[in-house]
């Protein structure tokens, strides 16, 4: 979880970097090349690190990077060196060859251009701002605003854009194209892709990964895969609206695998302190959610008061105290696998087609939340909150291969049951789940008092006293 800023304007103070620096607590470095300002904040996950911005020996190429490139060979000390070699060999085509979660800036002074790229789903934030002929790119909107830029906008996910240094867009194109043919009836390829996705996201990291373990499908699948592959992790469960029997079974499974399961009672969540944390360390970026019908279903919601953001802040606090630095998020599963509905029934207004996948995607792909809408809004929320703790968020359900394998399934397989691929995966791994229910992993502002005789959660608590 890093952050960066490129600007043709020179900053007069370091105010632009106050919140961005939280994402990169290991090293902050600045450099001016050909009159352009570069700033990078680093969170190192591969041990010894090479500070960024990375500048080639001849100062013709400058690279800054945020995220993780899973296709980077282990022989490289740093992914930024790999990016340099990929660009030297393939030019702008290098970005379509990357497997990872990333935002990248690459300045080529021999061509007088700068390339900016986001991964397939835009998991890492990247913004553009301008002021006359001057322009800049940054991980946070506020960093650009502090330098006097206006007309600030988020760059599209799954795109690489080439700009000339005179602030003219030369080329913009998608980095990856999905195959929308639906022809597979066997889920085994999706199962294998998902396990590979989870494995690559815990291969290179410092500290332990953690998951927010609910009684639902998405976090359950990640936990089941980690256990199946004998990976070390921490789980954090908020005592709230979860099914006590499922939670108990999952706690037992996590502990039996030799991993640590933590319970976070609602009474330990100081909402006032959590709100203060968010207001001080997280950019407040109101978001808008629009479904395929063009309806705005959520307008101008604030990250600072969002219950899910408060919950994630509480979970991150607990996990970081236990030594975790990487958050394995279930984000994207609802957008891709269920569309927040089933059999045509919309669970929420922002559902596009009620989870009833059509037999032919022509004219209907991508649906609003595939790249945008809730996908963009909720990813931004998780990135901002996790980043404020200096923790990196990674997204197993948004792996390109996992998404492609799901798209390739026939509509009959997709529609057979709620969250079909994930449901069958949980059965394969014999991991319990609260079936056929969409329950948010969260809490209420005023926790209900526990009923006497409610032994399920009490039994869970005893495991950690």
Domain assignment present for residue 179? The answer is no
* Burial class of residue 139 in the structure, from the number of CB atoms within 10 Å of its CB (0-12 exposed, 13-18 middle, 19+ buried): buried
Tell me: do 86 and 217 sit in the same domain: no
pLDDT of residue 293: 76
The pLDDT of residue 400 is: 97
Residues 150 and 220 in one domain: no
Q: Rounded to an integer, what distance in angstroms lies between the CA atom of residue 383 and that of residue 387?
A: 6
Tens of pLDDT, residue by residue over 416-437, are 999 999 999 999 999 999 876 6
In a domain, 249, yes or no: yes
Residue 291: what are its φ and ψ, rounded to 5°?
-90, -175
Residue 455 has a pLDDT of: 32
Is the residue at 257 inside a domain? yes
**Residue 265: its pLDDT value, please?**
87
Is 49 inside a domain boundary? yes
The CATH number of the domain holding residue 428 is 3.40.50.620
The pLDDT, as a whole number, for residue 442 is 47
Q: What is the pLDDT of residues 148-204, one digit of tens each?
A: 998 899 999 999 999 998 877 788 999 999 999 999 999 999 999 999 999 999 998
Identify whether residues 256 and 169 lie together within a single domain: no
Dist. CA 307–CA 446, nearest whole Å: 12
Residues 204 and 131 in one domain: no
CB proximity list for 79: less than 8 A, separation 6 or greater? 46, 65, 68, 69, 72
How much is the average pLDDT of 354-377? 95
End position of a domain, from candidates 144, 174, 204? 174
Supply the pLDDT for residue 413: 98
Q: How far is CA 400 from the centre of its chain?
A: 13
Domain assignment present for 180 = no
Model confidence at 272: pLDDT above 70 = yes
* pLDDT at residue number 434: 84
Q: Is residue 183 part of a domain?
A: no
Q: Determine the Cα–Cα distance for residues 15 and 191; give it in Å rounded to an integer.
A: 46
Query: Could you report the per-residue pLDDT of 118-155, keeping only the tens digit for each?
Result: 999 999 999 999 999 899 999 999 999 999 998 899 99
- Residue-wise pLDDT tens digits, 236-261: 998 876 788 999 999 999 999 999 99
Structure confidence at residue 329 (pLDDT): 98
**Is 170 in the same domain as 315?**
no
Buried-state track 23-61, b at ≥16 Cβ within 10 A, e below 16: bbeeebbebebeebbbbbbbbbbbeebeebbbbeeeeeb
Does 201 lie in the same domain as 168?
Answer: no
Looking at the structure, tell me whether residues 256 and 136 fall in a common domain.
Answer: no
Residue 205 has a pLDDT of: 84
pLDDT in tens, 287-326: 778 778 776 666 567 788 888 899 999 999 999 999 999 9
Instruction: Note the pLDDT of residue 459.
Output: 32
What is the secondary structure of 152-176 as a DSSP string?
A: EEEPPTTEEEEEETTTEEEEEEES-
On whether residue 140 sits in a domain, the answer given is: yes
Mean pLDDT (the chain) is 90
The domain containing residue 258 runs over which residues?
Answer: 188-462
- With a cut of 60, say whether residue 462 has pLDDT above it: no
| CA angle, 451 then 454 then 459, to 5° | 135
Task: Provide the percentage of residues in the chain whose pLDDT is more than 90.
Answer: 77
Which of 3, 8, 4 has its CA nearest to residue 32? 8
Q: Are residues 125 and 234 in the same domain?
A: no
The Cα–Cα gap between 122 and 171 comes to 18
116 and 160 share one domain: yes
Q: Against a cut of 0.85, is the pTM above it? A: yes
Q: Is the pLDDT of residue 415 over 60?
A: yes
* Beta carbons of 332 and 121 less than 8 angstroms apart: yes
Residue tagged 């399920």 (tokens): 456
Q: Averaged over 73-84, what is the pLDDT?
A: 92
**pLDDT score of 90 more than 70:** yes
pLDDT score recorded for residue 307? 87
Q: Are residues 233 and 309 in the same domain?
A: yes
The residue among 126, 150, 174 that closes a domain is: 174
Which residue among 174, 204, 225 closes a domain? 174
| Same domain (yes/no): 162, 196 | no
Same domain assignment for residues 17 and 160: yes
Number of domains in the chain: 2
Whether residue 396 is contained in a domain is answered as yes
Domain holding 133: CATH number? 3.60.20.10
Give the pLDDT score at 451. 35
């Amino acid at each position: 979880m890093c952050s960066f800023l490129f600007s043709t304007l020179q900053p007069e103070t370091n105010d632009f970097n106050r919140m961005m620096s939280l994402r990169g607590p290991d090293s902050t470095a600045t450099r001016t090349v050909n009159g352009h300002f570069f700033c990078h904040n680093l969170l190192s996950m591969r041990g010894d690190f090479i500070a960024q911005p990375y500048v080639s020996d001849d100062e013709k190429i400058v690279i800054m990077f945020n995220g993780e490139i899973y296709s980077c060979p282990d022989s490289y000390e740093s992914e930024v060196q790999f990016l340099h070699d990929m660009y030297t060999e393939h030019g702008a085509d290098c970005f379509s060859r990357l497997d990872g979660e990333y935002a990248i800036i690459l300045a080529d002074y021999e061509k007088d251009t700068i390339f900016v790229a986001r991964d397939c789903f835009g998991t890492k934030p990247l913004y553009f701002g301008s002021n006359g002929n001057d322009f800049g790119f940054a991980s946070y909107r506020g960093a650009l605003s502090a330098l006097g830029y206006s007309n600030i906008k988020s760059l599209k996910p799954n795109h690489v854009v080439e700009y000339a240094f005179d602030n003219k867009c030369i080329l913009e194109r998608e980095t990856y194209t999905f195959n929308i043919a639906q022809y597979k009836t066997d889920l085994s390829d999706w199962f294998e892709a998902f396990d590979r996705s989870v494995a690559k996201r815990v291969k290179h990291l410092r500290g332990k990964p953690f998951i927010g373990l609910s009684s639902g499908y998405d976090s359950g699948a990640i936990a089941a895969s980690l256990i199946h592959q004998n990976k070390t992790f921490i789980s954090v469960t908020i005592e709230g609206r979860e099914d006590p029997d499922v939670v108990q079974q999952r706690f037992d499974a996590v502990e039996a695998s030799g991993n640590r399961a933590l319970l976070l009672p609602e009474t330990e969540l100081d909402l006032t302190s959590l709100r203060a944390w968010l207001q001080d360390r997280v950019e407040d970026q109101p978001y808008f959610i629009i479904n395929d019908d063009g309806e705005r279903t959520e307008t101008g919601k604030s990250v600072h008061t969002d219950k899910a953001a408060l919950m994630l802040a509480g979970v991150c606090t607990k996990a970081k105290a236990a030594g975790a630095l990487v958050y394995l998020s279930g984000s994207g599963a609802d957008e891709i696998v269920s569309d927040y509905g089933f059999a045509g029934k919309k669970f929420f207004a922002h559902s596009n087609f009620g989870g009833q996948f059509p037999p032919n995607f022509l004219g209907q792909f991508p649906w609003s939340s595939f790249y945008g809408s809730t996908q963009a809004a909720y990813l931004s929320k998780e990135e901002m909150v996790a980043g404020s703790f200096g923790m990196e968020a990674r997204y197993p359900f948004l792996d390109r291969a996992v998404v492609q394998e799901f798209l390739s399934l026939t509509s009959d397989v997709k529609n057979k049951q709620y969250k079909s691929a994930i449901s069958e995966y949980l059965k394969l791994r014999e991991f319990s789940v609260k079936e056929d229910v969409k329950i948010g992993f969260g809490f209420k502002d005023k926790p209900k008092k526990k009923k006497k005789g409610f032994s399920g959660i009490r039994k869970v608590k005893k495991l950690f006293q």
